[in-house]
Structure 1
Amino acid sequence: MKTGLRSFHTLDKDLRRITHAESAQRYAFRPVWWLGLAVLALVLGVFLSVGMSGENAAMVGLGAGLVVAGWLGLAIGSNDVANSLGPAVGAGAIGLLPGLILVACAEIGGASLAGGAVTDRLASGLFDFAGLTAGPEAPIVMLSALIGAAVWITTATGIGLPVSTSHSMVGGIAGAGVAAFGMHAVHWPTLALIASTWVVAPLVAGGIAGLVLIYLRQRVVDAKDREAAARLHIPVVGALMFGLFSAYVALLVQERFGGRLVLPAGAAATVLGYLVMRRVLATQLIGSGNKASVKRIFRPALLVAVTMMGFAHGANDVGNIAGPLTVILTGPAWGATATVPVLVLTMAGVAIALGTVLFGRRLVVMVGSGITRLNAGRAFCVSLATALVVLVSSSLGLPVSTTHVAIGGIFGVGFAREWMDRNKNKRRSPLPVEETRRRLLIRRSHVATITTAWVVTVPLTALLGAGLCLAFLAFSV
């Protein structure tokens, strides 16, 4: 019975590690949390002073928006870095400081090159500001959404509820927009599309991660000659990843600056990636023989996955800052035909990168420790699936939660592992009823946590955004 129990423990072990990671996240986030409390107290004090003095709050609102957006960038960078870097550091694929720098640079690149779609969706996709350019409503809506999201993220972190910045910002914009413009101004189909993506994205990530795991386990991990199989398949997988990612980046550069870069960049990156991956893998496998560890096999591929995750995170989460900030900076002149300034995207990306470098160290160390890290092979599958789903979502202008997508990938990997184990040992004795019930409770608790965070976050941030918007509009009269 002991063997049967061990064969079905992988998913629950990984989910427990996610629970430990969330606890570590709350502990490591304390410096940023205290900074957020100070920022919100300062902003509140300034607005109260302006309201009592009767001065014009336009410039104060601009300054407050910049300050709150900067803090949100630091919070995003420090909070989500462990999703990509923790497993890689734990597996020894990269050192802590080089990893932080790599992820920070990738986030700036993703924000600058690929962050425009999500930013534009949040800036003008939820409401039509084109017919409302005569007054100050649009900047006030975005300022209210920024502060409301910051208040909720700070509060939720303090009480231990893991929430998504993307969910918070969408709820804040929706609530503030309704308060300013009315229910009729909301683009309900866009809101429904975003909300459906929050459900579909983790499921898609789970399917991709599970399929990649099945392929790698059958072709590499369970091969008779593991070292030979790794030398054959891992460089090909890594080269395809690197080539497709490079082609995607080249497409973004081509759209901005012109030229024909996609095919040459993709082909060159694929060949270079194969040669480099093959050389690095050969170095990792020296002296391992047919007993090559999974950690050694997947170290090189994890580096590519870390870069893709950082880029994807910057591309998607930058919109939470740059979207509202764009409207605040451009003021009433913002309209449906306006374009997102590259400088705003880069500034927001730098804020996220600073959060990664300055405050991400503690969390990565804790998540990369023996208690919380995922197995290197499973971490690779989850990271790859998460990066692909987030990149596609970013290109479509859909804000998603990186953490929720990653947890969907973990579910997919766990279920795929158990499916393979059941097919491999069909005569295994069934699990006891108590053990089956315990596993269901563990898995349902994680689904319930994600669902609760989603269901609670959107209405609460909508109420906060609406209340703040009404207050600011009253001050501006």
Structure 2
Amino acid sequence: MIRSPRQLHILDKDLDRLSAAEQAGSQSMRPLARVGLAVLFVAVVVVIAVAALPQATTGQVTVLAGVALAAYLALAIGANDVSNSLAPAVGARAIGIGTGLALVATAEIAGAVLAGRKVSATLSLGIVDPRQMLAGGSAAPVMLAALLAAAIWVNIATWAGAPVSTTHSVVGGIAGAGMAAFGATAVNWPGIAMIAGGWIVSPLASGALAAGLLALIRQKIDDAPERDRAARRWLSGMIGTMAALAAGILLGGHLGQQTAVTLGAMAGAGGAATLAARRHMARRFASAGEVRAKSRDLFGLPLVLVAVLMGFAHGANDSSNVTAPLWLILEASGEQGSAFAPGWIFLLAGGGLALGALLFGRRLVVVVGSRITRLNPVRAFCVSLATGTVVLAASWQGLPVSTTHVAVGGIFGVGFFREWDDARRHRRYKQLPVEETHRRTLVRRAHVRRILLAWAITLPASAALAALFSAAMQ
């Protein structure tokens, strides 16, 4: 039977509706699929642990529970903290969010495995006396409570779109659970004071460094009579310095190489990065047209490279939030046989960070990258370079800083510098109307207040949760 044109038109409309319904169903299933992959990751990690742990291990159920919670927390940290590494690059449109997540996820694993031990030792040994926990047989319940409280709090913050500090969450969880189990005297308050001092200094240092870098770029490159030559000199020098610092921290600070080897590697890495940056810029200058467009385009690839390096720094520093409690659980069970922390727990932490970033990291990347202040490649490069420098330096010293604080501090520094510089440039004009003054407010105060509030309540909230869980497990 031959259908009439009207019947064919109706059939086409019905097929379009079916296609739209299928697409809507596919979109609605994506969040559920991501949750399913996360659950599968935790299950696979537990199965591997069952196969790897000796059958005679004391408290094997407790160890497996600790492994499951550690995997869960690693996923939560990756989802919340990927914004620190990738938000500036995505906010500046230097890289797509999918490609950026894949690159940063790989860097997270490398940072955790290659450079995660020093900060992990600080968290394991410097908050609650490990000898007292191990002697009393309460190390495993205390650390289970800390892991559970930190994971729940970070999940709540991620759902609310607030980039909180996972380091605050874990430190608060360990301290709260330790106080509930052993009393306030068991907590190493000078150690916590040292860590808290790093939390205050690091975002201020990042903000000041990011603002200083932006001022340097404006003075030495934007206002230079020969921008091409100035950009090749100053920008390549910044990239080379960052590469040298990363090599020094990795070899000298984490792998324990001798001073001569470390200095040689720093010189080699810095020189190679500087040369590669100069060649990249020379090609850009040769192919681009208008001067200002060339200057802006130069920062695209360097920004991506710095974002990847920042992912490495985050893996090195924040993997300790997972590995430190898990190591004490293994130690209490009698499974730990090496001097400190078997290598597989760092691989677990890095893999969880990477998968959490890939599955759940998109929302906070958008919040941090575009809703605090507007970022172009130049400003985003300053934020990423400042953040990476501060976090790598802290990791070198074994100090568990908040990468969230450092990254957002850098963004604030750039935004407030731009406001100050804009006001300075227009000082000679008459008082601007209220509407124009509001338009020139470059840092969105509402997001600043929201983020600062989330920071302020993170430590006491996670400590209270951990204390409740610890008391219930005793």
Q: Is the CA contact (8 Å cut-off) linking 2:70 and 2:322 kept in structure 1?
A: yes
Question: 1:346-385, aligned counterparts within 5 Å?
Answer: 346-360=347-361, 374-385=375-386
Q: Check 1:300–1:361 CA distance in 2 against 1; reply closer, same or farther (3 A cut).
A: same
SS in structure 1 at match of 2:123: helix
Question: 1:51-450, aligned counterparts within 5 Å?
Answer: 58-89=59-90, 91=92, 93-94=94-95, 98-252=99-253, 254-255=255-256, 260-285=260-285, 286-331=287-332, 339-360=340-361, 374-432=375-433, 444-450=445-451
* Aligned amino acid, residue 297 of structure 2: R
Aligned to 1:52: none
Q: Is the CA contact (8 Å cut-off) linking 1:134 and 1:332 kept in structure 2?
A: no
Aligned to 2:471: 470
**How far is the alpha carbon of 1:254 from its aligned partner?**
4.3
Stretch moving more, 266-275 or 290-299: 290-299
Q: Check 1:334–1:185 CA distance in 2 against 1; reply closer, same or farther (3 A cut).
A: farther
Q: Is the CA contact (8 Å cut-off) linking 2:416 and 2:442 kept in structure 1?
A: no
1:299 & 1:437 partners in 2: Cα distance? 30
1:291 & 1:134 partners in 2: Cα distance? 66
* Aligned amino acid, residue 117 of structure 1: K
Count of matched residue pairs: 430
Structure 1 ranges of 4+ moved more than 6 A:
35-39, 365-373, 437-442
1:275 & 1:241 partners in 2: Cα distance? 13
1:235 & 1:166 partners in 2: Cα distance? 33
Cα shift readout 1:254-287 (whole Å, capped 9, x = no counterpart)? 40x6684212211222221122111111222323
Stretch moving more, 180-189 or 122-131: 122-131
**How far is the alpha carbon of 1:355 from its aligned partner?**
2.3
Q: Is the CA contact (8 Å cut-off) linking 1:367 and 1:373 kept in structure 2?
A: no
SS in structure 1 at match of 2:299: helix
Q: Check 1:415–1:218 CA distance in 2 against 1; reply closer, same or farther (3 A cut).
A: same
Q: Is the CA contact (8 Å cut-off) linking 1:115 and 1:315 kept in structure 2?
A: yes
Q: Is the CA contact (8 Å cut-off) linking 2:84 and 2:408 kept in structure 1?
A: no
Q: Check 1:373–1:437 CA distance in 2 against 1; reply closer, same or farther (3 A cut).
A: closer
**How far is the alpha carbon of 1:454 from its aligned partner?**
2.6
Q: Is the CA contact (8 Å cut-off) linking 1:90 and 1:370 kept in structure 2?
A: no
Cα shift readout 1:315-367 (whole Å, capped 9, x = no counterpart)? 111011011111112216699x9523333223211221222344446765897
SS in structure 1 at match of 2:298: helix
**How far is the alpha carbon of 1:139 from its aligned partner?**
1.3
Cα shift readout 1:27-73 (whole Å, capped 9, x = no counterpart)? 9x96699569979xx9xxxxxxxxxxxxx993332222211211221
* Aligned amino acid, residue 194 of structure 1: I
**How far is the alpha carbon of 1:184 from its aligned partner?**
0.8
2:33 & 2:192 partners in 1: Cα distance? 30
1:291 & 1:109 partners in 2: Cα distance? 37
After TM superposition, the score normalised by the length of structure 1 is: 0.79
1:312 & 1:413 partners in 2: Cα distance? 21
Q: Is the CA contact (8 Å cut-off) linking 1:316 and 1:390 kept in structure 2?
A: yes
Cα shift readout 1:364-420 (whole Å, capped 9, x = no counterpart)? 589778998621100001111111112222233332332222221122112222333
Q: Check 1:289–1:450 CA distance in 2 against 1; reply closer, same or farther (3 A cut).
A: closer
Q: Is the CA contact (8 Å cut-off) linking 1:133 and 1:334 kept in structure 2?
A: no
SS in structure 2 at match of 1:133: helix
Q: Check 1:312–1:133 CA distance in 2 against 1; reply closer, same or farther (3 A cut).
A: same
Q: Is the CA contact (8 Å cut-off) linking 1:212 and 1:381 kept in structure 2?
A: yes
Please give the root-mean-square deviation of Cα atoms over the aligned residues, in Å.
3.6
Q: Check 1:442–1:110 CA distance in 2 against 1; reply closer, same or farther (3 A cut).
A: closer
1:362 & 1:444 partners in 2: Cα distance? 20
* Aligned amino acid, residue 415 of structure 1: F
**How far is the alpha carbon of 1:108 from its aligned partner?**
1.9
1:356 & 1:467 partners in 2: Cα distance? 29
2:301 & 2:159 partners in 1: Cα distance? 37
1:253 & 1:394 partners in 2: Cα distance? 9
2:442 & 2:161 partners in 1: Cα distance? 20
* Aligned amino acid, residue 187 of structure 2: V
**How far is the alpha carbon of 1:300 from its aligned partner?**
3.0
Q: Are residues 1:456 and 2:452 paired?
A: no
**How far is the alpha carbon of 1:91 from its aligned partner?**
4.7
SS in structure 1 at match of 2:462: helix
Q: Is the CA contact (8 Å cut-off) linking 1:87 and 1:373 kept in structure 2?
A: no
Q: Check 1:217–1:354 CA distance in 2 against 1; reply closer, same or farther (3 A cut).
A: same
SS in structure 1 at match of 2:140: helix
1:183 & 1:369 partners in 2: Cα distance? 42
2:243 & 2:97 partners in 1: Cα distance? 22
2:156 & 2:371 partners in 1: Cα distance? 30
**How far is the alpha carbon of 1:96 from its aligned partner?**
5.0
**How far is the alpha carbon of 1:172 from its aligned partner?**
1.0
Q: Is the CA contact (8 Å cut-off) linking 1:239 and 1:270 kept in structure 2?
A: yes
Q: Check 1:339–1:463 CA distance in 2 against 1; reply closer, same or farther (3 A cut).
A: same
Stretch moving more, 392-401 or 116-125: 392-401
2:226 & 2:294 partners in 1: Cα distance? 12
1:222 & 1:310 partners in 2: Cα distance? 32
**How far is the alpha carbon of 1:80 from its aligned partner?**
2.4
* Aligned amino acid, residue 327 of structure 2: T
Q: Is the CA contact (8 Å cut-off) linking 2:209 and 2:410 kept in structure 1?
A: yes
* Aligned amino acid, residue 265 of structure 1: A
1:401 & 1:394 partners in 2: Cα distance? 11
SS in structure 2 at match of 1:261: helix
After TM superposition, the score normalised by the length of structure 2 is: 0.80
Q: Check 1:369–1:405 CA distance in 2 against 1; reply closer, same or farther (3 A cut).
A: closer
1:352 & 1:240 partners in 2: Cα distance? 27
Stretch moving more, 340-349 or 360-369: 360-369
Q: Check 1:61–1:435 CA distance in 2 against 1; reply closer, same or farther (3 A cut).
A: farther
